[in-house]
Amino acid sequence: DRKIKIAPSILSADFANFGAEIRAIEDQGADWVHVDVMDGHFVPNLTFGPPAVKAFRPHVTTFMDVHLMISPVDAYIEAYAEAGADMITAHIEAGPHPHRTLQAIRATGKQAGIALNPGTPVEAVEYLLDLTDMVLVMTVNPGFGGQKFIHSQLTKIKRLRQMIGDRPVHIQVDGGVDVTTAPLVAQAGADVLVAGSAVFKGGSVNQPDIYGDNIRKI
Annotated binding site for substrate: 9, 67, 143-146, 174-176, 196-197
Q: Is 31 annotated in the active site?
A: no
Q: Is 209 annotated in the active site?
A: no
What pairs with residue 135 in β-bridges? Answer: 114, 171
Closer CB to Zn ion, 162 or 172, in the complex:
172
Residues in 18-37 at the binding interface with Zn ion, rule: CB under 5 A: 36
Three-point CA angle 150, 192, 57, nearest 5°: 115
Catalytic residue among 31, 65, 133, 174, which?
174
Q: Where are the beta strands (DSSP E) in the chain?
A: 5-8, 33-38, 64-69, 87-91, 111-116, 134-138, 170-174, 192-195
Site stretch for ligand DX5 (CB under 6 A), options 4-12, 46-54, 103-111, 151-159: 4-12
Radius of gyration of the chain (CA): 16
Three-point CA angle 24, 2, 109, nearest 5°: 65
| Interaction mask 61-100, ligand DX5, x per CB under 6 A | ------x---------------------------------
Q: What residue type is assigned to position 57 of the chain?
A: R
192 contact partners, CB below 8 Å, separation of at least 6: 4, 5, 7, 31, 32, 65, 134, 170, 171, 172, 173
The residue sitting closest to ligand DX5, measured at its beta carbon, is 196
Site stretch for ligand DX5 (CB under 6 A), options 17-25, 100-108, 153-161, 174-182: 174-182
Q: How many residues bind ligand DX5 (CB under 6 A)?
A: 22
By CB under 6 A, tell whether 142 contacts ligand DX5.
Answer: yes
Catalytic residue among 36, 39, 65, 133, which?
36
Site stretch for ligand DX5 (CB under 6 A), options 18-26, 97-105, 119-127, 135-143: 135-143
CB 218 within 8 A of CB 179: yes
Which residues are known to be catalytic? 36, 174
Q: Name the residues that contact ligand DX5, by CB under 6 A.
A: 9, 11-12, 34, 36, 67, 140, 142-147, 174-177, 194-198
